[in-house]
């Protein structure tokens, strides 16, 4: 197989900056072959999310099944999962038939403030998705919601990362590099603990950064890179995508994996 195959299970962003659209751009530019199982359509632009249409869980599973039975994949990335029924169905499908690495980006709220996960679904993410994660990529807010902890210091980030390992994730990267009080991400696979320093970029062109980062890691794992190498490449990649982002729209422009 000459191209690493990545299945992305996530939501569509009509503005092209985040979600499935950002995932596919990222997988492609890093040399992988991307497939998609779309969980929800969103009507959004750079100023916000104006509508969300969840896809029927059985149809999401059908998208996964037909890709798996024909093309197959080397890694999976999950993003916006929207609701409890979608999480239950997707976790069942992954548990039943996927042995490849799974990168779980526990998407909850867009940077614009719009909810992308139902309020009652955090428990389902903890119970069903976290234990499936070869790699879990929460931001600080998501790490706080998943662990029930407040994170104010670097020590508390490490404690939260350990708590996420205890919940069943095989490895975790907590994204805090964009916050001036931290300026670093915290990675652990339970054996190694790494702090990944971040050059803080003062910009609002950051729409989709979480999606791009997790997809870049999934592509690396599909390409059989060691986890730490996949994370470091993803880190460099997202930094560049932020630096080279152009101003589109009146709101928060997308980071750009391609420009
Ligand atoms: N829209 C979709 C479909 C997403 O999956 C995500 C993030 O995961 C977003 C929007 C939010 O992007 P951001 O928070 O980077 O603006």
Q: Strand pairing of 184-188 and 193-197?
A: antiparallel
- pLDDT attached to residue 121: 97
- Where does ligand 1 bind, in terms of residues with CB under 6 Å? 10-11, 13, 18-19, 42, 79-80, 107, 110-112, 116, 207-211
d(CA 1, CA 144): 40
More confident position, 14 or 197: 14
Domains of the chain plus CATH, in order, are: 5-136+204-243 (3.40.1190.20)
* Mean per-residue pLDDT over the chain, rounded: 95
Q: For residue 172, how many C-alpha atoms fall within 13 Å in the half-sphere facing its CB?
A: 29
Q: Are 252 and 205 in contact (CB under 8 A)?
A: yes
- pLDDT attached to residue 125: 98
Angle, CA 112 vertex, CA 33 and CA 8 arms, to 5°: 15
User: Which of 19, 44, 175, 254 for mutating ligand 1's site (highest number of atoms within 8 Å of CB)?
Assistant: 19
Please tell me the distance between residue 110's alpha carbon and the centre of ligand 1 in angstroms.
5
- For residue 254, the 8-state DSSP code is B
User: Which of 8, 9, 11, 26 for mutating ligand 1's site (highest number of atoms within 8 Å of CB)?
Assistant: 11
d(CA 95, CA 89): 10
User: Is it the case that residue 1 has pLDDT exceeding 80?
Assistant: no
User: Which residues sit opposite 245 in a β-bridge?
Assistant: none
Please tell me the distance between residue 191's alpha carbon and the centre of ligand 1 in angstroms.
31
Residue nearest ligand 1's atom 5 by CA: 19
Residue range 115-133, pLDDT digits in tens: 999 999 999 999 999 999 9
Mean pLDDT, residues 219-243 taken together: 96
User: Is it the case that residue 259 has pLDDT exceeding 80?
Assistant: no
Specify the pTM.
Answer: 0.97
Residue nearest ligand 1's atom 4 by CA: 19
- pLDDT attached to residue 2: 76
Please tell me the distance between residue 108's alpha carbon and the centre of ligand 1 in angstroms.
9
Please tell me the distance between residue 75's alpha carbon and the centre of ligand 1 in angstroms.
21
- pLDDT attached to residue 81: 98
Ligand 1 atom closest to residue 107's alpha carbon, by position in its atom list: 8
Mean pLDDT, residues 244-250 taken together: 92
d(CA 171, CA 46): 32
User: Is it the case that residue 255 has pLDDT exceeding 60?
Assistant: yes
Ligand 1 atom closest to residue 12's alpha carbon, by position in its atom list: 3
Angle, CA 149 vertex, CA 145 and CA 151 arms, to 5°: 100
- pLDDT attached to residue 103: 98
d(CA 250, CA 147): 35
Please tell me the distance between residue 49's alpha carbon and the centre of ligand 1 in angstroms.
9
- pLDDT attached to residue 180: 79
Residue range 150-181, pLDDT digits in tens: 999 999 999 999 999 999 999 999 999 878 78
- For residue 22, the 8-state DSSP code is H
User: Is it the case that residue 257 has pLDDT exceeding 80?
Assistant: yes
- pLDDT attached to residue 202: 87
* Active-site residue list: 175, 206, 208-211
Ligand 1 atom closest to residue 105's alpha carbon, by position in its atom list: 8
């Amino acid at each position: 197989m000459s191209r690493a195959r990545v299945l992305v299970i996530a939501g569509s962003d009509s503005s092209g900056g985040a979600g499935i659209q950002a995932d596919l751009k990222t997988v492609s530019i890093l040399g992988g072959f991307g497939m998609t199982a779309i969980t929800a359509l969103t009507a959004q632009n750079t100023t916000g999310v104006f509508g969300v249409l969840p896809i029927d869980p059985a149809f999401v599973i059908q998208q996964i099944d037909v890709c798996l039975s024909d093309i197959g994949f080397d890694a999976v990335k999950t993003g916006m999962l929207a609701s409890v029924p979608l999480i239950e169905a997707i976790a069942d499908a992954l548990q039943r038939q996927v042995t490849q690495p799974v990168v779980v980006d526990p998407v909850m709220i867009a940077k614009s403030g719009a909810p992308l996960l139902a309020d009652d679904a955090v428990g389902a993410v903890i119970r069903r998705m976290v234990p499936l994660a070869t790699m879990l990529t929460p931001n600080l807010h998501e790490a706080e919601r998943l662990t029930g902890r407040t994170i104010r210091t670097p020590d508390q980030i490490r404690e939260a990362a350990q708590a996420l390992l205890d919940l069943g994730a095989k490895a975790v990267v907590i994204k805090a590099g964009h916050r001036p009080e931290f300026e670093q991400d915290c990675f652990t696979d339970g054996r190694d603990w790494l702090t990944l320093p971040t050059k803080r970029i003062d910009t609002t062109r950051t729409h989709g950064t979480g999606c791009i980062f997790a997809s870049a890691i999934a592509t690396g794992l599909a390409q059989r890179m060691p986890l730490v190498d996949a994370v470091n490449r993803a880190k460099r990649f997202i930094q560049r995508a932020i630096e080279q982002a152009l101003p589109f729209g009146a709101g928060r422009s997308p980071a750009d994996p391609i420009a």
